[in-house]
Each structure stands twice: as structure tokens, then as C-alpha cells.
Amino acid sequence: MNQTNKGGPTLPVVLGIETSCDETAVALVRDGYSIESSLVSSQVDLHALFGGVVPELASRAHLEILPALIDDALDRASLNISPRQLQCVAVTQGPGLIGALLVGVSYAKALSLAWEVPFVVVNHLEAHLYASFLAGEPMEFPMIVLLVSGGHTMLIHMKDHLNYTLLGQTHDDAAGEAFDKVARFLGLGYPGGPIIDRISTEGNLGLVTFPRPMINEGLDFSFSGLKTAVIRWAQNNPEASEKDIAACFQEACVDVLVRKTERAAKMIGVDRVCLAGGVGANSLLRKRLGELCQENGWEVFLPPIALCTDNAAMVAACGHWKFNRVGPSPLDSPAVASLGFPAS
């Protein structure tokens, strides 16, 4: 540990800030894996009235909640941490809504200057990969990561910390987007993924078999055709129950995700599989991925459910590795709405 003149030794604790979409989140993570505190203030109720995220409302809500959330996260940490002892402040740089990102990035820069601690920007997609590192299990490389969120669906070969090859991604809708759009069409509410997950447990899988787009081709995905097929079928069969339609849609979607993950692991010859992103909370996907790995004798890493969707603990964990391996980011680093996945 470095001795500093800042009122105590620097601790290996990173403050993470996440404001890329509709969750304001702050967390303190020690050594890259141990959560001191993790708080998420959801704006779901605010945006539910509009059936989706309203960017301007999201930015304002982030700004209102962030100062109190940071104080609260510091107060709740089990270690007595003075902000000046932090290893660094890590913040999501992108991708996401530009106004929402700017709130977090600007705030993190101000804290870094005021507390005289380093500043680190983190890619939100990369941060999702770090959720499993917070589950308490030691993780080893290489591994295949299935990243499934509201905006992205990717298969990644993670060879080491911060070292990735992108193996495949969606040509159109992300898996979470398909869940949300099908749920919206069925009038189930927003966000649709958790609702479809819940009602599908009572659904009849014998109702209809929906297409499994590109299931036998390569490692890319396409969910737009599946979404359209479900919506058309529901329009033509108005008497069908929502839970049956939801269950058949979820089955098709999970089937594609699991088969492609299996193909990626076999192609690369990797025997570790990791799940990441909001759709990673889906109970059927977790079960099927677990079964796939058991059948093949592979290790499976499933992030804690609460850390699948957007949170700041994953940002802090990723920030820890970025700071240790790459160093601090320049204070003029911008927020980047369309930031891509940092693969080689």
C-alpha cells in the first residue's frame, strides 16, 4: 500500500459510477472483487409511464440522485473509507445515452479533482463482463463470454483481463431488445425481460414453435425476425394466452443463445463459459447454460442476479483492472454514446 499525505494510506478500493441509461448506480469495490457497498437507484417507474427510457428525464434524474447516492455508498462501506484514500474513481464512458453519460463522466472528473484521486473511464460492455468476478468464485482464463443486454448480444473470447476477441454479434435487435419489444406488443409492461421470464414459468411450450434465426450458422445472431414472427403470430391468434406466447418466444431465444455459446466454446477449444448482461438474469438461460456446461464438463460462471442488470460494482471492478494494468485516463476523456466493444 502506498503511503500518502492525504489523511491515510491509499486503499485498494475503487469508487464506480454508472449513469449510461436509466439506472443511477454507485459502488465501492475492494481488490477488484469484494463489494464494500453497491447502490442502484432505478428510474423504471419514471420511464414506465412512457413505455421506454426518455433520455432528457434520465439525465436530470441522474444529476438529482448522484450526490446523495455517493455519500450513502461511502457511509455504508464496511471499511471506514475517506474519499481521499480511494485508489481511483471509475465511471462508464459509453456506450449509452449521451446526456446520461455526461452527468456521470463530469461528476467523476469533479470528484477526482476535488479528492485528488486518479480518474478512470470504463467501457460499459466490458464492465458487464466483470459482474461474474464479483460472485466470490476465483475465475480463470481463457473463457467464452455470452454478453446479452438491452442493446448488445455478443460472444467474446476473453483471454485475460482487458484482452478480448469478438467472435460474434447481432446483425439487428439485441436479445434484450427482442424481449422488451415482444413484451410491449403483448401489453405486458416495461422492461419486458423480467416479466416474460416470470410469466413463462406457467406457459405452454406446445402452443407454437417459433423460428430460431441463424441457429445453425456461425456465431452471429439475428433476433429481429424472431420478434416479428412472434408479433405476427400473436396478431393472427388473438385468443392465445400471453404466457404461452411468452414461453414459446423465450424458448426460441434461449435455444439460439445456448447453441451459439456451445459452438463458440467448441470452435475455440475453451472449457469455461461466462454469462453477462441484463438478459443474464433470465432463469431459463441460466438453467440451460448450466446444463450445457455440465454435459460438456465445462466450468460455468453466472453473475449474481442483482449484478446482471446495470450496476456500478461491475464498473468499479473493471476500473480496478484498467487502473492497475493501463493507468489513469486523461481528465479530458469524453463521454462516447456509440463506444464499441474494446476487442482486438
Strands annotated E in 161-218:
163-169
The interface partner of residue 94, options being Zn ion, ligand KG4, none and the CB cut-off 5 to 8 Å by kind, is none
Q: Rule CB under 6 A: is residue 94 a binding residue for ligand KG4? A: no
Centre a 10 Å sphere on the Cβ of residue 80 and count the other Cβ atoms it contains.
9
Angle, in degrees to the nearest 10, between helices 283-296 and 242-268: 30
255: amino acid identity, one letter? D
**90 vs 107: CA distance, rounded Å:** 11
Q: Does 303 bind ligand KG4 (CB under 6 A)?
A: no
Q: Which of 149, 200, 222, 329 binds Zn ion (CB under 5 A)?
A: 149
Is 310 one of the binding residues for ligand KG4 (CB under 6 A)?
A: yes
Only one residue has cell 438491452, namely: 150
Distance of alpha carbon 180 from alpha carbon 156, whole angstroms: 23
> Which stretch in 58-66, 130-138, 141-149, 205-213 sits in contact with Zn ion by CB under 5 A?
141-149
Among residues 85, 93, 112, 282, which is the contact residue for ligand KG4, using CB under 6 A? Answer: 282
Using CB under 6 A, pick the residue from 36, 180, 251, 262 that binds ligand KG4.
180
| Dihedral (CA of 158, 174, 179, 262) sign | negative
Name which of 11 and 103 has its Cβ closer to ligand KG4. Answer: 103
DSSP state of 263: H
Please, which residue, 22 or 251, has the CB nearer to Zn ion? Answer: 22
Which of 8, 142, 151, 225 lies at the binding interface for ligand KG4 (CB under 6 A)? 151
In the bound complex, what is the minimum distance in angstroms from residue 269's beta carbon to ligand KG4?
Answer: 28
The DSSP H or E segment spanning 28 is: strand 23-30
Q: Does 149 bind ligand KG4 (CB under 6 A)?
A: yes
Q: Which residues pair with 170 in a beta bridge?
A: 221
Of 51-59, 81-89, 190-198, 224-232, which part binds ligand KG4 (CB under 6 A)? 190-198
The type of residue at 185 is: F
Does 310 contact Zn ion by CB under 5 A?
yes
The set of residues, in sequence order, having a beta carbon less than 8 Å from that of 280 and lying 6+ positions away, is 131, 146, 148, 286, 302, 303, 308
Question: Contact at 8 Å (CB) between 231 and 192?
Answer: no
Q: How far is the CB of 141 from Zn ion (least distance, A)?
A: 22
The single-letter code of the amino acid at 48 is A
Select the binding partner of residue 191 from Zn ion, ligand KG4, none (C-beta < 5 to 8 A, by kind). Answer: ligand KG4
> Does 153 participate in binding ligand KG4 (rule CB under 6 A)?
no
Q: Residue 22: which of ligand KG4, Zn ion, none does it interact with, CB under 5 to 8 A by kind? A: none
Select the residue interacting with ligand KG4 from 118, 191, 203, 303 (CB under 6 A).
191
242 binds Zn ion (CB under 5 A): no
Burial profile 252-287: b = 16 or more Cβ within 10 angstroms, e = fewer:
bbbbbbbbbbbbbbeebebebbbbbbbbbbbebbbe
Q: Which residues bind ligand KG4 (CB under 6 A)?
A: 21, 149-151, 176, 179-180, 191-194, 197, 277-279, 281-282, 309-310
